[in-house]
Amino acid sequence: MRVPRSLEVWKMGTVNYMDALKLQEKLVSDRKTSKIADTVLSLQHPPTYTLGKRRTDHNLLIPESELKKIGAELCYTQRGGDITFHGPHQAILYPIISLRDIGIGARNYVEKLELTMIGLASLYGVRACAGQKGETGVWVGERKIGAIGVRISYGITSHGLAFNIDPDLSYFKHIVPCGIADKEVTSLRKETDSVLPAEEVIQEQLISCFARLFGYCNLIWKEKGSILSDNGEN
């Protein structure tokens, strides 16, 4: 009989991108040595452009020196994928989980992340689907609503997905999102006729979709205050 799997859900609020990156690195190390259980970070970032390990700087369409004027910063990462934008009013999940324990490979993992966002969109009557060949993320027609960029180290995941609830889409005009030219970016707010609940509710719905697809039966919710005290921070 399979033992029900547990998932710790860390509700972090708004976190600086580099601080979140350092936290992920620590948690990946802890997960490799089984100091922690499978964990997912649920958060948002201040306006931030991030580049993956391919370093496709040419897909940033404004000089780096101009970023401060639009209230954004640029960060370099070791995740897969191309340039993307993170900012307020996105639902971001960073799973730190063991694919070996779950028994799935990298491709299946990414497909389940896509299905997580597709499932959330369907709750609001939005028909989303995975991208065509060469198009990462989740799309509504020709418009991208969710991005995926992951890193997997010795079977432990980091980075993850970003679903557009109602971000300022003008930030995407300064990049070639995920390296795919001539495509629009959209949001749940633009695509649905439904009245949206509070963003915290939508983030929790996204986590529920994730947990269901990955077979987690027991969710352990942690708020930012208890997380900081557990890690010895004031």
d(CA 139, CA 23): 29
From the candidates 75, 178, 209, 217, give the one annotated as an active-site residue.
Answer: 178
Both tokens assigned to 53: 């390990």
Which residue(s) pair with 13 in the sheet? 43
Tokens, residue 207? 């986590």
User: Count of residues for the chain?
Assistant: 234
Separation CA 204–CA 9 (nearest Å): 10
Query: Is residue 24 within a helix (H) or strand (E), and if so which, with residue range?
Result: helix 17-32
Q: Residues within the annotated binding site for substrate? A: 79-86, 147-149, 160-162
**DSSP 8-state class, residue 174:** G
Phi first, then psi, for residue 198 (nearest 5°) are -60, 150
Largest Cα span, the chain: 58
In angstroms, the CA 17 to CA 48 distance is 7
Alpha-carbon distance 94 to 156, whole Å?
12
Phi/psi for 120 (5° steps) reads: -65, -50
Annotated binding site: 79-86, 147-149, 160-162
Catalytic residue flag (residue 217): no
| Cα separation, 74 vs 174, whole angstroms | 12
- Extract the tokens encoding 126: 């939005």
- Catalytic residues, by residue number, are 178
